[in-house]
Structure 1
Amino acid sequence: MNVLICDDSGFARKQLARALPREWDIRLHEAGDGQEGLEQILMGHGDLVLLDLTMPRMDGYDVLETLQREGIRSKVLVVSGDIQPEAHARVMALGALDFIKKPASPETLHAFLRQHGFWQPREESVTEPQASPAPAPQHAPPSGPLLTPQSRDLYQELANVAMGQAADLLARLLGAFVVLPIPNVNVLEVSELHMALSAAAESDTLSAVCQGFIGAGIAGEALLLFHDASFAELARLMKHEGELDRAAELELLMDTANVLIGAFLRGFSAQLDTHFSQGHPVLLGQHRPIHQLIQTNQSRWRRTLAIEINYRLQGHKVQCDLLLLFTEDSIATMDHKVQHLL
């Protein structure tokens, strides 16, 4: 059997490959996005496809639609961090066999493979995953907090899983489908951060909330930038009654921030096997240009690991940007924590 793992994250592909049964007699192939995945399928490399949803060029939904439209008979198991009920319903309607939540443990993946008749353990075989090699000797963290391609890919995948958990809560709260982007991960100087924020906001006025977090040598701030043009639609989705004044908008903003920031930090910290204590959310400003909001926190932001996520609701004029800004000192600590994953 030809098995294709289609995911834009090299880390996620390796993680899935390691989770497959050791004794399973297959030819394993990989693709870094949906377009490459379709090419591999057309080459006969996709009897079974383990398919991510959030990918560049062509996402998982596009792949499923193409397979269905062209009558291509590859079997597809979706493996995704987007756990919204509508995401599950959409992929099943497009012909997927099943939906597996990221990160998929070997036990979970084996159970799905057995359930759908792709693999059965031999009686004499051991079905537990192969033991991980002994960890490498611990060395002092590198002095320069620079991201390697491997670590950037890993942080992007960790953010992808946490982003999906936050989107699921928001989707259930609003009764709408949250369109998920590919998280943007970079180490930025303060001037570069200002440029990134300005580009995210363009010419729109914004309302913004920040919330600090700290735990086990990791500290930072979560910043939610809410586009002011979104308030009226958000109020309608939340069934807000009464006048939509600044006080009502602030309440809507804080509710959205609590869902997105809280859920993301829980999902991200759980993957780091740590716990974040969160400070009280602080309003940076309402209906203000981005440069004024940046000026408020300029003294606190220096070099940072920045994770940027743009959330928008399908069919609704609601858009917000979530940025996770980790302090320079935190980067070496996080790099050390994720070495076992790499």
Structure 2
Amino acid sequence: MTTTVLICDDSRMARNQLARCLPPEWDVDIHFAEDGQHCLEVAAEVDPALIFLDLNMPEMDGYETLEEFRAQDFEYDVIVVSGDIQPDAQARVIGLGALNFIKKPVSKEKMLETLDLHGFYHAPDSAPETPQVERVVEQTDLNDQATFIDACQEITNVAMGRAGDSLARFLDVFVELPVPKVNLIEIGELIMALQFSEQESTVSSVCQGFIGPGISGEALLIFNDSSFSNIARLMKYKGKIDDSVELELLMDTANILVGACLQGISDQLDLSLSQGHPVVLGQHVQIADLLANDKPWNKTLSIEINYSIENESVDCDLLLLFTEDCIDTLKQRISYIV
């Protein structure tokens, strides 16, 4: 009997990865949705027996989708598949009715274990006599810029989740994760592409260079100055907050987010990235002034992640800038995944 499965994720790469992790001998009819609203529409048409649901999506995210299922009394079986691995995130989706949570990137072993646990699929006692063809959902050409950007965004999504989890555990908070913004742009256009929440406010920033096999670039943590008092309270700092204390808080936050995010990217691409010493770019300056320094390259792969903390006025941007010379290496590494 054919099982109808709906995979909801805004990334084509993620949809492909998840579909390939389904047991090849499992008789399934796979459908796809690109965000929560699309998921509601497709589910109404196909009545899926099982939905795989991402959390960080535009339009309607995974939490909102689960809430809508509950509001409309839809009794879909849902397994959340996400890069947001915070314990609170996992507890929240279970509380909203999800059967289980699987962290990205998904392994075939974990998929099989989860499907077996909930009775959707049981592996045969013996291997099938004829080899099974691996599922191919959508062709991916990394020379197509949109496909390449999508793949970079999905890799960042996983790395972002690890960094957010590290910060959440350090501060004992819930970190709200965005959809990463990825652009292949001219350096001169970078400031226009930034989505920092308060462009008119002053910021402070540190920069760390990174390098690996065929990879080089810079990581910038841009911290809204209005956030310092709140981050100090969360770090349980009791003294007077002056420039030196703010710099220490900035460095602590950068060490957590930059280190965890770059490690997450390294693990997925199977390479080692070495980090340079952090350098202060400026304190209490405008973003335009902060990014006015000329870079030794003309075009960059810019990845922006805006981290915020639930119920706290803490807002910071992590900006990863890869040199244009990295593009071919990144495509080669990503090709091993897709």
Give the TM bin, normalised by the shorter chain: over 0.9
Distance 1:301 1:314, change over 3 A: farther
Distance 2:309 2:71 in 1: 26
| Residue of structure 1 aligned with 2:40, choices 11, 30, 38 | 38
How big is the shift at 1:46? 2.0
Residue aligning to 1:298: 294
State the secondary structure of the residue aligned to 2:329. Answer: helix
**Shift of residue 340, structure 1, vs aligned partner:** 2.2
In angstroms, what is the RMSD of aligned CA positions?
1.9
Supply the AA of the counterpart residue of 2:27: D
- Worse overlay, 226-235 or 63-72: 63-72
Q: Does the aligned pair in 2 maintain the 1:230–1:318 contact within 8 Å?
A: yes
CA contact (8 A) 2:180 2:305 kept: yes
Matched, 1:222 2:242: no
The answer to whether structure 1 residue 289 and structure 2 residue 286 are counterparts is yes
Other structure's SS at 1:315 match: coil
Match of 2:305 among 301, 306, 309: 309
Which amino acid counterpart does residue 206 of structure 1 have in structure 2? V
Secondary structure of 2:332's partner?
helix
Which of residues 263, 266, 287 is equivalent to 1:266? Answer: 263
- What is the rounded CA distance, in whole Å, between the counterparts of 1:302 and 1:206 in structure 2? 25
Counterpart of 2:102 in structure 1 is 100
What aligned pairs does 1:229-240 form with structure 2 within 5 A after superposition? Answer: 229-240=226-237
Alignment correspondent of 1:121: 123
- What are the superposed Cα offsets for residues 102-131 of structure 1, whole Å, 9 maximum, x if unpaired? 00011110110001110011223359x968
Q: How many residues align?
A: 329
Distance 1:12 1:238 in 2: 35
Pairing 1:321–2:337 present: no
Residue of structure 2 in register with 1:14 after alignment: 16
Local SS of the residue matching 1:322: strand
Alignment of 1:65-214 (within 5 A): 65-125=67-127, 148-197=145-194, 201-214=198-211
**TM-score, normalised via structure 1 length:** 0.92
- Counterpart Cα distance in 2 of 1:327 and 1:199: 22
Percent identity reads 53
Which is further off, 242-251 or 329-338?
Answer: 329-338
For residues 232-251 of structure 1, give each alpha carbon's deviation from its aligned partner in whole angstroms, at most 9, with x where no partner exists: 11111110011011111111
Contact (CA 8 Å) 1:201, 1:290: kept in 2 or not?
Answer: no
In 2, the alpha carbon distance for the partners of 1:288 and 1:47 equals 54
Q: Which runs of 5+ in 1 are unaligned?
A: 134-144
Superposed CA deviations along residues 21-52 of structure 1, whole A, max 9, x for unmatched, are 11111211110110010111222332200100
Cα distance per residue 1:233-280 (max 9 Å; x no partner): 111111001101111111100000000000000001111110001000
1:200–1:321 CA contact under 8 A, matched in 2: no
Distance 1:52 1:283 in 2: 36
Aligned residue for 1:43, secondary structure, equals helix
1:119-154 per-residue CA deviation (whole Å, 9 max, x = no partner) reads: 011223359x96879xxxxxxxxxxx9762211111
**What is the rounded CA distance, in whole Å, between the counterparts of 1:114 and 1:319 in structure 2?**
41
Q: CA deviation at 1:201?
A: 4.9
Structure 1 CA distance for aligned equivalents of residues 29 and 143 of structure 2: 36
Asked if structure 2 preserves the Cα contact closer than 8 Å seen for 1:29 and 1:45, the reply is no
Q: Partner letter of residue 224 of structure 1?
A: L
2:114 maps to amino acid: F
For residue 197 of structure 1, report the CA deviation from its aligned partner: 3.8
Measured in 1, the distance between the counterparts of 2:195 and 2:91 equals: 36
Q: How does 1:22-33 map to 2 (within 5 A)?
A: 22-33=24-35
- Secondary structure in structure 2 of the residue aligned to 1:283: strand
Partners of 1:132 and 1:31 lie apart in 2 by 21
Distance in 1 (alpha carbons) for counterparts of 2:37 and 2:52: 14
Query: Which residue of 2 is the match for residue 62 of structure 1?
Result: 64
Q: Provide the rounded CA distance (Å) in 2 between the counterparts of 1:198 and 1:45.
A: 38
Distance between the aligned counterparts of 2:294 and 2:16, measured in 1? 39
Summarize deviations over 1:199-249 as a string: whole Å, max 9, x none. 665101000010000000100000110000100111111100110111111
The residue aligned with 1:137 is none
CA contact (8 A) 1:146 1:187 kept: no
Describe the superposition over 1:282-316 as per-residue Cα deviations: whole angstroms up to 9, x where unpaired: 11111111122112x32435211111111111110
Q: TM-score, normalised by structure 2?
A: 0.93
